[in-house]
Structure 1
Amino acid sequence: MEQYLSRNISCENCKHAYSTFKIKSRYIRPLTHDSDFCSTYQSLETNPLLYYVSVCPYCGYAVSDEFNPKLTKEAHFAIQTKIQKHWNYKNYGQKRSVETAINSYKLGIYSGIIKKETPIVMAGLYLRLAWIYRTIEHSNTQEQRFLKLAVEQFELSYTLGDYEEKGMSEIKLLYLIGDLNCRLNLERQATRYFQMVIGHKHKEKEQRLVEKARDRWYEIRKSTKLKVSS
């Protein structure tokens, strides 16, 4: 149990204090990184994704660190009537299985929708849940489902500009939208976003991502030519 850190949280909805596990940073050692920034780890026990969402055991309100901590009166009332009213005490604050983690994400997504969290925050939840499904190799359908939801929110975030509040650069956002579209076999949309990265006015600042976008663009072109010739 030494890889776990217990964090104390005060629920903004019901005002109860509770504790929840996180993985200590020195135990987070990624082995590989996918093109959409998903990391793989030596074991599920040291995968920080499982603990990204914190769930209040008293009322069921679930949040990530990216959530705006403040609740409007309308959001507070909606959470009380749509979540807390139907909630039975359950503790998500201990060691989590993949199934428990998935449930915590779904609670976080539902809480975010009710609270009307920003698109960039919702996109992060959808994308990370897709990554968890990726660790379960037989769950490709669910992975695709949440990748689609993620890319929709990322595109909305690009339109609204809320990604800047979370410290994400425009180039990284455009690259990620392109990559997710590629994973969804939406090659035309992927090409469009990769081209936006390649031609971006600040491309010198993030040359690694620009090169990755160029490589993915060439892959799509090559694949398209092969399909046409066959």
Structure 2
Amino acid sequence: MELSPYYEKQLECLHCKQQFKTMKVRSNFIKVKENESDFRPIYENDVNPLFYNVFVCEHCGFSFTEDFSKYFAPGVKEAIDQHITTHWKKHSFAGERSIADALQAYQLGLVCGNFKKEKHITLAGLALRISWLYRMTNQDVMEKRFMKIAREQYIESYSVEDYKGTSMNELWVLYLIGEISRRMGDKEQAIRYFSKVIEKQRLFNEPKILEMAKDQWKRMREE
């Protein structure tokens, strides 16, 4: 019997504490062919693990990722109950997801993350991935809408340094602000942030990011 790329995982909802199932992709089926300039991975096959990063509780609708904290500030649970759970029609996201399913899951995750006041770096990552999903379906207006949200959140993250302690660092954040700005047609902002990456090169051992920033900076200066 051929092994499925997918497997079920049991999780506990951070909000309602009930158990629910979600789908994950086996690591040996994840084959990245290349990455675009804003790090969107292009996979060799139809198995896209990005579709499964957001966990959606079938009971209450609360949606989250592995990056969400377990802490709920006072009043947050009540806000989630009022704005999400009371409108939620119980259904499961445990099966194989289409791109439409993935978009719904990510948008729920972004809404929940905003209510929960998650780190700006977490919200930025969600918004950026939503823009990738819209790019996959050639929806340019929606792609740019969520790029704008991602850029705002990355700028806030850089300002308050809430990327510290995550898989991101200052150079990655600066590069992404520059690259998202470039994709949005904001040449001035793009050059500004690519320049910041180049200025800080001695503080980080990130030759790939530095090379990408220099290439984009040079290209934009020549346009």
TM-score range, shorter chain: over 0.9
Identity %: 35
Pick which of 161-170 and 121-130 moved more: 161-170
TM-score, structure 2 normalization:
0.95
1:186 aligns with 2:189: no
1:128 aligns with 2:99: no
Residue in 1 that maps onto 2:93: 92
Question: Counterparts in 2 of 1:9-28, with a 5 A limit?
Answer: 9-28=11-30
Q: Which runs of 4+ in 1 moved over 6 A?
A: none
Question: Counterparts in 2 of 1:26-175, with a 5 A limit?
Answer: 26-44=28-46, 46-136=47-137, 138-175=138-175
Uncovered stretches (5+) of structure 1, i.e. residues with no partner: 224-230
CA RMSD of aligned residues (A): 1.3
TM superposition shift of 1:203: 4.7
TM-score, structure 1 normalization:
0.92
TM superposition shift of 1:167: 2.9
**8 A contact 1:197–1:203 mirrored in 2:** no
**8 A contact 1:12–1:71 mirrored in 2:** no
* 1:20-55 CA distance string (max 9 Å, x none): 0011111110112101100111344x1111111100
Tell me the SS of whatever aligns to 2:42. strand
CA distance in 1, matches of 2:201, 2:194: 14
**8 A contact 2:31–2:45 mirrored in 1:** no
* 1:53-75 CA distance string (max 9 Å, x none): 10000000000111112223411
TM superposition shift of 1:5: 2.0
CA distance in 1, matches of 2:120, 2:90: 29
**8 A contact 1:171–1:203 mirrored in 2:** no
